Amino acid sequence: MRTLLLPLQWLVEFVGSVGKGARFFVHLCWLAVAALRRPRLVIDQIHFIGNYSLSIILVSGLLIGFVLGLQGYYTLRRYGSEEALGVLVTLSLVRELGPVVTALLFAGRAGTSLTAEVGLMKAGEQIDAMEMMAVDPVARVLAPRFAAAVFSMPLLAALFSALGVLGGYLVGVAMIGIDAGAFWSQMQAGVDWLDDVGNGVAKSVVFGFTVAFVALYVGFNAQPTPEGVARATTTTVVAASLAILGLDFVMTALMFSAN
């Protein structure tokens, strides 16, 4: 009888934890808006989360642009359509690679640091100390980080895509010798600012919410020991990455299948 009830128990626990997570998410969103009234906190966090991610995002964007340019050229050359390289590189970046790769790198770089920071604060009893002083730790510590992450993600994704386009240009036009005019004019004709760039920005905003929520939730509920923090950072990267890829599929199906 006991063993029959076990799956039911797991189901109840699972649904309960989903509810707990949803409540946490709504609470965070609400407090994040309130945190904007204390811009100093948010600006500091944008510095830690956004500025410190710049080096990896910019360099990765440029390198991925280089690779897209090369691979795209080799394939297009077989069909005599080398001049479509601009459209190929830009659409790949703006629709998919920009938001997704940026989000994955962001989860690895900023997500883990957020989780580790919050987990260590919990391990060091700083969270409890704040509660003792009647300071809401979620509002003081978590909400500014949430707001900063959601704000930084779209900017980082745009920088990634822009540098990728530049990388494709450097490889295609400067290195290989495709006509620059054809590169830019076909790109401008083929990339729609709302349907392609706009959808990419929407995706990156959703990914920002995802990474921030996963990182902060896992950190806040980590075991307050060094091992617990280490396991929490792993959980953040794995869970955030899978969530990003899953949400990317859903959003792509919603946004781009209408044509």
**Contact 68/89 with Cβ under 8 angstroms?**
yes
Nearer of residues 42 and 138 to another protein, judged by Cβ:
42
Question: Could you give the CA distance from residue 69 to residue 72 in angstroms, rounded to a whole number?
Answer: 5
What size, in residues, is the chain? 259
Nearer of residues 64 and 155 to another protein, judged by Cβ:
155
| Coil, helix or strand at residue 82 | helix
**Which parts of this chain interact with another protein (CB under 8 A)?**
43-44, 46-47, 50-51, 54, 90, 94, 152, 154-156, 158-159, 161-163, 165, 184, 187-189, 191-194, 196-197, 201
* CB-based contacts of 233, cutoff 8 Å, min separation 6: 112, 115, 116, 119
Nearer of residues 18 and 43 to another protein, judged by Cβ:
43
To the nearest whole angstrom, how small is the minimum distance from the Cβ of residue 198 to another protein?
8
To the nearest whole angstrom, how small is the minimum distance from the Cβ of residue 184 to another protein?
7
Helices and strands in the chain, H and E counts? 12, 0
To the nearest whole angstrom, how small is the minimum distance from the Cβ of residue 12 to another protein?
44
DSSP state of 229: H
| Coil, helix or strand at residue 178 | coil
**Number of other residues whose CB lies within 10 A of the CB of residue 121:** 20
Nearer of residues 49 and 127 to another protein, judged by Cβ:
49
DSSP state of 165: H
Question: Could you give the CA distance from residue 228 to residue 246 in angstroms, rounded to a whole number?
Answer: 26
Nearer of residues 93 and 237 to another protein, judged by Cβ:
93
Nearer of residues 127 and 155 to another protein, judged by Cβ:
155
To the nearest whole angstrom, how small is the minimum distance from the Cβ of residue 44 to another protein?
6
To the nearest whole angstrom, how small is the minimum distance from the Cβ of residue 177 to another protein?
21
Question: Could you give the CA distance from residue 97 to residue 245 in angstroms, rounded to a whole number?
Answer: 11
3-state secondary structure 180-221: HHHHHHHHHHHCCHHHHHHHHHHHHHHHHHHHHHHHHHHHHC
Distances (CA, A) of 217 to 28, 86, 207: 10, 41, 15
To the nearest whole angstrom, how small is the minimum distance from the Cβ of residue 237 to another protein?
23
Nearer of residues 46 and 229 to another protein, judged by Cβ:
46
To the nearest whole angstrom, how small is the minimum distance from the Cβ of residue 187 to another protein?
6
